[in-house]
Amino acid sequence: MILHNLEFEAFMAYPKRQEINFDTLNNAGVFLLNGPTGAGKTTILDAICYALYGETSSDRESAKLHSTYAAHSGTKPRVLLDVTLHGKRLRIDRTPAYNKPITRGARKGQMREESAKATLAELAPGADPADEKAWTPISSSVAEVNRTIAERTHLTKEQFLKVVLLPQGQFAQFLKSKPKERKELLKKMFPVEHYEQLFDALLEEAKKAQQDVAQDENTQRGYLERARVEMLALQALLDAVESGSEYVAEVGEEASENLTAESVTAETLDAWVAGGVERARETSAREKQEQQRLSDEADRNTRLLAERAQLQADWREYEQLCERRTRLTERADEYKAQREELAQARAAAPLHAQYAQVQAESQVLTAREQEHAACASALEENGRTLLEALRNEDTAAEVTFPEEMTFAALPDLEPAEQETQLEALLDTLRALQKQDAQLAEEEATAAALLKQAHALEQDKARAEKTLSNLTAAAEELAEELAGYSTADEERTLAAHLVTEAQQKHDAAQQMQQKLDAASAAVAEAEKQNKRTATAEQKAQEKWQASAQQALAATEEFKNLQVLRLAQASSLLARELKDGEPCAVCGSVEHPAPAQIAEGEQLVERADLDAAKEREDKAHKQARTHELAKDRATKAHQEASEALAAARTQYETLAAQGECDVEQTAAQLQQAQTRLTQAQSRVTARDGVQAKAERVRVEQQKAQEALRTTEGAAVEAQTRHRDASARCEATAAQLAPARAAVGFAQRVEAVEGYRAAHQRLARAVLLLGQARERHAQAAAQAERLLVESSFESAELVQAAVRTPERIDALDQAVAAYELEHARLLEGFGREAIVAVAARVAAGEQAPDDLQGVREQVEQLRAAAHRLTLREGERESVLRSLQALRGEYAAFRAKTAQRYDRAQMLANLAAAARGDTLGGYEHQVDLVSYVLGAEFERILHSASLHLDRMSEGRYGMVFSDHRAKGSRSGGGLNLEITDTWTGEPREASSLSGGESFLASLSLALGLAEVVQANNGGIELDTLFIDEGFGTLDAETLDMVMGTIESLRDSGRTIGLISHVEEMKNRIPAQIVVEKGQNGSSVRVNS
């Protein structure tokens, strides 16, 4: 990756457009990025990171990337990076999300959030970057740009920051940290999620397998307990049998057994259960024989009991039959009389019914004769009344009505012809009735039309008067409108004055609000500046104190180291023993062993470790206080910048001039009053115009109404004359047919006469039918009497009985005959005949059977007890057999699970690196995988460190646990020292040596990450701080190493504010900090 050009504007500390031409810096090879603390050096790296990944190195929110110095100017933030990735030159253009002021509309002055944007373009091969047409767009959305850059860099943001920006403080901490802390950093740089998931899954599977084994052991104990319970129950049952009873034969002695409920184990369980089952089977066989004997004896006694009980029942039945036969003989005469009475009643029933039919027909005939006479009388009266109603004293004698002519002809006609004549008369009268109704409607219509014509004449007069009044009103309104001719111009002028006054008043209010807000911001910024200044001073004091303590601890440790080296011979002499060889020369004689000086104490290894621990603790505390001091300094710097910006904002607003809000408010009130008055005149004018328009519309309506009324009056008079003429013609036609009563009454009277005529015809028909049915019923009654056994009707009536009596007689006769049949059947049964023979022979009924019954019950009870015992034993045996089968299957299954659990436990131990599993250094799986990458990093770092230390120091990988660490090994490192030939811990290095080792470690990590991600070439590296701790000689050595990196084609950017670095490196990016933000200057 080669950086060519970087542009950014309104980005964080930089409000104005800045440009850094990296091509000129690449030619120099090494450049310095310097500037005061808090000026924005890291912001340049944030700009590069944001261009590539859409995020800054500190994960700062996108909305906070907009420079506070440019927030109110309307300048949008922007980052433009020209970079080469894998031989392709790309231009990345990004705009972070920011708040933009609204310049128009109701929300003018408020802020609106603009979303982030990004574009990506590629330069054509060999083309000039300055030619815009040579750039081809690739992506135009944030997501597409992010995806394309990720595919081409093969690095995550975290990896990029680690391999491009080498923060010495972090790598110094990484150098001296414990394996657990190294592990967390390496996990971020190398993908081990799959191994972690595999490790977690393996541990979970092993844990589950162990839980299954534990559960299997609990289940096995359950099987043993079940077997003990079932075997004890079986033992109790067998003991009860062998104790003997009245129906159970004695059993032999129990076979001796070696196993008991207390001594049985999982291996001997099956044999123990099998012995109990065999013993139970033998007992069951003996009890089945006894049960069969008891059952046979009970069956024999049961049959004897049944035979005696049946004989006793037959004897009782014979005695009952004899008693019933005696009672039936006593009722024989009564039965004969009832049977004769029933026969006579059934013979008289048909004749009695026929006589009743004759009587009913006689009554119907009498009713029909009376009905006929009434209908004839009613018809005659109806006809007379109808004809009399037609005439009065005014009717001329020569007039003949249709009713009179029709009634005169009726007596000479047949009934059907009479009906026809009456229907024709009704048709004539109905036609006349309809014509008379039409005449009445025409007369009513003529009267209504006459009334309508008079009303229309009155409406015409009123319409003429209304039109005259409206004409006068229209003339008056036209004169009134002439006085409002300038109302619109007056209102327009007043509205314009109100708008101007409102704008002035709003501007004055906004300016006052801004001044108030700026004043409050200045006050708050002053408070914050004071607080941060106090915090910075305290943090500075703490850091200086802790730094002095760290230097003292380092001095103490070095002094002890020197002293221990001086005491090396004394320490070796202390270990010498007479007769044993020396560890150095091998001699068994020790004539003059070295001695320590008088009053001097030996420096033990524990003393060195304790001093080193105190040194590490002091340096760690110093680093902590230094970081706190840097944060406090940065916070104070930011507070100072915020105070300066707030004061500048207030002064800028104050310089724009003051506005009198009260004066602009009074001017606005005057303009609004004038506008209200003008509006009132316009409103009044509009009211007059509306009224005039209404009058005009009413004039048109009045004229139209007058014309309509005149036409309607003429039409009503014409229609009245036509209706009167039609009435006169119809009246002349109806005059000859009019009678004393109206046509409707005449129609109703004729319809009534016809109905009476129809009723008389029906009465004649019904009377003939009644006479015929009466004659037929009388003839049938006479025939039945001749055919019967009765001589007269009186004898028939004497034999007649009610239905209830007949039913009673029938039931009594049937009951007697049924009882007689049942007695014959009962005495004919074979068992009853046998009993009769026994009675004839002088025998008595059998005795009570209770004794036999009790003996049967005792036998059955004894057999039932045996059956219950057998059932209990069988239940226990089935349970034991099922237990044996389950236990056998369980043993086979758990053996496989146990083997699997053991195998998983061994794998888990290997993955954890447990010492119990034979793994000496406790290297877990993830640490083992990361260890391979760490070993590669150390190999590369060792080459750099060897060169920077002129061959003295190197780095080697160690999987041993760190001293005093309880966690596993696998990620330790040791410093090799060619001067002493012994490995050293990283914590024993001096400050300058630690810097060299940290730089080497950072370079090694960068090279390995690059190689793992497709071998991407990172031609530009940034090294952040750490140079202030180096002496001149070490600094020369470090700069030589950096020069060697440049010779390999890389560009190295050093981030430092050390003055010596400024003198050494001519190519520089200088960050200058000002009241209105920071700026960049490139010195090439």
Round to whole Å and give the CA distance between 261 and 264. 6
pLDDT for 656 equals 67
Question: What is the tens place of the pLDDT at every residue in 71-103?
Answer: 666 788 999 999 988 788 999 999 998 887 776
* Phi, psi torsion values for 954, nearest 5 degrees: -150, 175
What is the location of CATH 3.40.50.300 in the chain?
1-154+1017-1084, 168-190+913-1015
Residue range 807-815: average pLDDT?
88
Q: How confident is the model at residue 945 (pLDDT cuts 50, 70, 90)?
A: confident
* Phi, psi torsion values for 937, nearest 5 degrees: -60, -45
For 1031, the 3-state DSSP assignment is coil
* Phi, psi torsion values for 501, nearest 5 degrees: -65, -40
Q: How confident is the model at residue 136 (pLDDT cuts 50, 70, 90)?
A: very high
379 and 760 in contact (C-beta within 8 Å)?
Answer: yes
Hunting for tokens 């701790």 — which residue is that?
1029
Three-class DSSP labels, 287-306: HHHHHHHHHHHHHHHHHHHH
941 and 1041 in contact (C-beta within 8 Å)?
Answer: no
pLDDT for 681 equals 84
* Assigned fold of 1-154+1017-1084: Rossmann fold (3.40.50)
Question: What is the tens place of the pLDDT at every residue in 453-512?
Answer: 888 888 888 888 888 888 888 888 888 788 777 878 888 888 888 888 888 888 888 888
Question: What is the tens place of the pLDDT at every residue in 185-240?
Answer: 777 777 777 777 888 888 888 888 888 888 877 887 787 777 777 777 777 777 76
Q: How confident is the model at residue 685 (pLDDT cuts 50, 70, 90)?
A: confident
pLDDT for 897 equals 79
Q: CA angle, corner 47, sides to 44 and 53, nearest 5?
A: 145
985 and 1016 in contact (C-beta within 8 Å)?
Answer: no
pLDDT for 248 equals 36
**Residue 32: both structure tokens together:** 């310095």
Does pTM top 0.85 for this prediction? no
Residue range 276-304: average pLDDT?
80
Q: Name which of 1047, 1064, 1029, 1021 is nearest 947 in CA terms.
A: 1047
Round to whole Å and give the CA distance between 405 and 1037. 161
Round to whole Å and give the CA distance between 763 and 379. 12
Q: Using the CB atoms, write b or e for 712-751: b if 16+ within 10 Å.
A: bbeebbebbeebbeebeeeeeeeeebbbeeebeebbebbe
Helix spans in 390-486 (H): 402-409, 415-481
pLDDT for 803 equals 86
Round to whole Å and give the CA distance between 512 and 506. 10
Residue 695 amino acid letter: V
Round to whole Å and give the CA distance between 1 and 135. 19
Round to whole Å and give the CA distance between 232 and 822. 67
Round to whole Å and give the CA distance between 69 and 12. 9
* Phi, psi torsion values for 657, nearest 5 degrees: 105, 155
* Phi, psi torsion values for 802, nearest 5 degrees: -70, 155
CA distances in angstroms from 665 to 416, 505, 506, 893, 983, listed in the order given:
114, 6, 9, 96, 86
Question: What is the tens place of the pLDDT at every residue in 612-639?
Answer: 888 888 888 888 888 888 888 888 888 8
Residue 91 amino acid letter: R
Round to whole Å and give the CA distance between 978 and 987. 17
Question: What is the tens place of the pLDDT at every residue in 881-905?
Answer: 787 788 778 777 787 878 888 888 8
Sign of torsion, CA 334 339 345 348?
Answer: negative
Sheet order of strands, 1077-1083 included: 165-167, 1020-1024, 1051-1055, 30-34, 1068-1074, 1077-1083
pLDDT for 1033 equals 73
For 1015, the 3-state DSSP assignment is coil
pLDDT for 246 equals 37
Q: How confident is the model at residue 169 (pLDDT cuts 50, 70, 90)?
A: low
pLDDT for 743 equals 79
pLDDT for 18 equals 92
Helix spans in 788-802 (H): 793-799
Q: Residue 420 pLDDT > 60, yes or no?
A: yes
Round to whole Å and give the CA distance between 63 and 28. 36
pLDDT for 561 equals 67
Q: How confident is the model at residue 247 (pLDDT cuts 50, 70, 90)?
A: very low
pLDDT for 258 equals 57
pLDDT for 360 equals 87
Tell me 986's DSSP state. G
Pairing of strands 30-34, 1051-1055: parallel
Instruction: Note the Cα 419 to chain centre separation in Å.
Output: 89
Round to whole Å and give the CA distance between 422 and 761. 14
Round to whole Å and give the CA distance between 644 and 794. 150
851 or 50: which carries more pLDDT confidence?
50
For 237, the 3-state DSSP assignment is helix
What is the chain's Cα-based Rg?
68
What CATH number is given for 168-190+913-1015 in this structure? 3.40.50.300
Round to whole Å and give the CA distance between 14 and 63. 15
What single string gives the DSSP state of each residue in 774-787? HHHHHHHHHHHHHH
The percent of residues in the chain predicted with pLDDT above 70, rounded, is 88
